Amino acid sequence: MQNVKKWIAAMLALALTLALALSMTAFAAVDDTGYSDVDAGNPYAEAILYCREHELMEGVGGNRFDPDGPLTRAALATVLYRMEGEPAVTGTDAFTDTADGQWYSGAVLWASQRKLMEGYGGGVFGIDDPVTRQDMATTLWRYADSPEAENAIRYEDESAIAGYAAAAVNWASANGVAAPVSGSRFAPRENASRAQIAAALMNFSRNVQPKPGDGQKVLVAYFSGTGTTRGVAQNIVTALGTDTATLHEITAAQPYTAADLDYTNSNCRSVTEQRDPSARPAISNSVSDMEQYDVVFLGYPIWNNDAPRIICTFLESENLSGKTIVPFCTSGGSGIANSVSNIRGLAGGAVWMDGRRFSGGTSRDTIIEWVNGLNLGIRAN
Ligand SMILES: Cc1cc2nc3c(=O)[nH]c(=O)nc-3n(C[C@H](O)[C@H](O)[C@H](O)COP(=O)(O)O)c2cc1C
């Protein structure tokens, strides 16, 4: 009887896993965008989907994205705050038109402290004002640390660009972040549409966000209950070479036994931890000299469609600010997306790249192809 119960529980778990895997496959295969007002042929469709997948911009409700509508300044602060991984903020902003405890409060405080959006002067942030195209460029330019653009582009409406935005508009154009609205017209004072902002965010992520080059150091940190994730992590290090990459196993202070990992028992340790979002199993080791690493591959098995809680302990105990994090996982079928959206906020100041799920026994060639496709500027072979 006991065995029958175990078998039924295992079958139920398998069915859940398959359902999850199928729903993800179905999403990847559909050719409509899921928004009633954005058809697949819309030139902004890719950017709008990119922003949804990366949880930067969602629809406006009622299955609509409102691609031509404006985005408020509070919403732009929120989008960038999400891009940054929503780091903790302290203090209060100096604006007279903002309030504490609102959906935008942390984002506006962060954006003003980072000097990305400083308001209009006179204590006014302009919470509900639409973002103009020159302010879209300026905010992203500041987020990129105000670089100089090498190729200044002359627009026919150049004279309409505000002084504070001139360098930003040049930069946004030279780096393919923002395109002119038509011909050589930038329309700096027009409202940026939600679709244009989605495109700017996607272009920014692809063209501008810092990508480490040769000579950069990589840490491959992983947690593994039964060795599957360890195999993938070892393959990444081998492919990158030990001059570039260092393997680091995240080990639990209290090691997980086979009984702890028996997820057919809903009271086993691992499932109990997964039920509690605040569980933080202790780690017995830390990374020596985290400072030296630019990129951190972070691997884990999927537990109950999430990252094991020990990964939260890791992210909260190591200083990952300024690092590029590349998450990867192994699983019986569940994808990585849900786990990444749950943990990405725990590493303040890190840049997260797209994650990837592997099944046990993934070939080294597949791993090499994936690592090289990340365009980190370091070759795996
Ligand atoms: C507690 C627990 C929960 C699990 N939950 C899931 C799940 O939700 N979806 C899934 O596809 N696999 C799930 N699995 C299977 C593991 O993700 C999979 O076997 C993984 O490759 C194990 O990696 P490891 O050997 O590195 O620990 C679970 C395994 C355990 C131990």
In this predicted model, what pLDDT tens digit does every residue of 90-131 receive, in sequence order? 888 999 999 999 999 999 999 999 999 999 999 999 999 999
Please name the residues in contact with 236: beta carbons below 8 A apart, sequence gap of 6 or more: 220, 245, 297, 299, 328, 367, 371, 380
DSSP 21-38: HHHHHHHHH--S-S-TT-
Please name the residues in contact with 5: beta carbons below 8 A apart, sequence gap of 6 or more: none
Whether the pLDDT of residue 222 is over 80: the answer is yes
Question: Is residue 141 lining ligand 1, measured as CB closer than 6 Å?
Answer: no
Q: How many A from CA of 1 to the centre of ligand 1?
A: 25
Q: How many A from CA of 358 to the centre of ligand 1?
A: 12
Please name the residues in contact with 153: beta carbons below 8 A apart, sequence gap of 6 or more: 170, 173, 174, 184
What is the average per-residue pLDDT within 76-88?
A: 88
Distances (CA, A) of 225 to 13, 231, 331: 18, 12, 11
Q: Which atom of ligand 1 is nearest to the CA of 225?
A: 27
CB burial readout 266-290, b (16+ within 10 A) else e: eebbbbebbeeeeeebebeeebeeb
Question: Is residue 360 lining ligand 1, measured as CB closer than 6 Å?
Answer: yes
The SS3 of residue 327 is strand
Whether the pLDDT of residue 209 is over 70: the answer is no
Q: State how far the Cα of 268 lies from the Cα of 250, in Å rounded to an integer.
A: 21
Question: What are the tens digits of pLDDT across the range 11-25?
Answer: 444 443 333 333 332
Q: How many A from CA of 274 to the centre of ligand 1?
A: 12
Longest dimension (CA), the chain: 81
Question: Is residue 271 lining ligand 1, measured as CB closer than 6 Å?
Answer: yes
Question: Is residue 157 lining ligand 1, measured as CB closer than 6 Å?
Answer: no
In the prediction, which pLDDT does 314 show?
Answer: 98
The SS3 of residue 368 is helix
Question: Is residue 228 lining ligand 1, measured as CB closer than 6 Å?
Answer: yes
Q: State how far the Cα of 8 lies from the Cα of 18, in Å rounded to an integer.
A: 15
Q: Which residue, judged by its Cα, is nearest atom 10 of ligand 1? A: 332
Q: State how far the Cα of 97 lies from the Cα of 135, in Å rounded to an integer.
A: 19
What is the average per-residue pLDDT within 260-271?
A: 97
Please name the residues in contact with 170: beta carbons below 8 A apart, sequence gap of 6 or more: 149, 151, 152, 153
Question: Is residue 339 lining ligand 1, measured as CB closer than 6 Å?
Answer: no
Question: Is residue 231 lining ligand 1, measured as CB closer than 6 Å?
Answer: no
In the prediction, which pLDDT does 215 show?
Answer: 67
Q: State how far the Cα of 266 lies from the Cα of 194, in Å rounded to an integer.
A: 45
Q: Which atom of ligand 1 is nearest to the CA of 230?
A: 26
Among 265, 331, 334, say which to mutate for ligand 1: greatest number of ligand atoms within 8 Å of CB: 331
The helices-and-strands tally (H runs, E runs) of the chain is 12, 6
* Mean confidence (pLDDT) of the chain: 88
Q: Which of residues 211 and 190 earns the better pLDDT score?
A: 190
DSSP 245-303: EEEEE--BSSPPPTTTT-TTSTTSHHHHHHH-TT----BS---TTGGG-SEEEEEEE-B
Question: What are the tens digits of pLDDT across the range 287-317?
Answer: 999 999 999 999 999 999 999 999 999 999 9
What is the average per-residue pLDDT within 126-142?
A: 97
Q: What distance, in Å, lies between the first and last C-alpha atoms of the chain? A: 51
Whether the pLDDT of residue 374 is over 70: the answer is yes
Question: Is residue 225 lining ligand 1, measured as CB closer than 6 Å?
Answer: yes
Percent of the chain with pLDDT over 70: 90
Whether the pLDDT of residue 29 is over 50: the answer is no
Q: What angle do CA 324, 89, 108 make, to 5 degrees?
A: 95
Question: Is residue 304 lining ligand 1, measured as CB closer than 6 Å?
Answer: yes
What is the average per-residue pLDDT within 217-244?
A: 94
Q: How many A from CA of 301 to the centre of ligand 1?
A: 5
Tell me 220's DSSP state: E
Distances (CA, A) of 331 to 54, 74, 131, 359: 21, 38, 42, 6
Whether the pLDDT of residue 211 is over 70: the answer is no
In the prediction, which pLDDT does 372 show?
Answer: 83
In the prediction, which pLDDT does 358 show?
Answer: 96
Q: How many CB atoms lie within 10 A of CB 66?
A: 17
In the prediction, which pLDDT does 213 show?
Answer: 55
Residue 210: pLDDT band (50, 70, 90) is low
What is the average per-residue pLDDT within 173-184?
A: 89
Q: How many A from CA of 267 to the centre of ligand 1?
A: 16
Q: Which of residues 187 and 21 earns the better pLDDT score?
A: 187
| Residue-level length of the chain | 381
Whether the pLDDT of residue 52 is over 60: the answer is yes
Q: Taken in order 273, 275, 276, 280, is the CA torsion positive or negative?
A: positive
The SS3 of residue 234 is helix
Percent of the chain with pLDDT over 90: 64
In the prediction, which pLDDT does 23 show?
Answer: 31
Q: How many A from CA of 226 to the centre of ligand 1?
A: 9
Whether the pLDDT of residue 161 is over 60: the answer is yes
Question: What are the tens digits of pLDDT across the range 248-265?
Answer: 999 999 999 999 999 999
What is the average per-residue pLDDT within 175-195?
A: 93
Tell me 330's DSSP state: E
Question: What are the tens digits of pLDDT across the range 54-70?
Answer: 889 999 999 999 999 99
* Whole-model pTM over 0.75: no
In the prediction, which pLDDT does 53 show?
Answer: 82
Q: Which atom of ligand 1 is nearest to the CA of 333?
A: 11
Q: State how far the Cα of 47 lies from the Cα of 44, in Å rounded to an integer.
A: 5
In the prediction, which pLDDT does 24 show?
Answer: 31
Q: How many CB atoms lie within 10 A of CB 239?
A: 21
Of 142, 174, 128, 127, the residue nearest 155 (C-alpha): 174
Question: Is residue 263 lining ligand 1, measured as CB closer than 6 Å?
Answer: yes
For residue 377, what is the enclosing H or E element?
none
Question: Is residue 21 lining ligand 1, measured as CB closer than 6 Å?
Answer: no
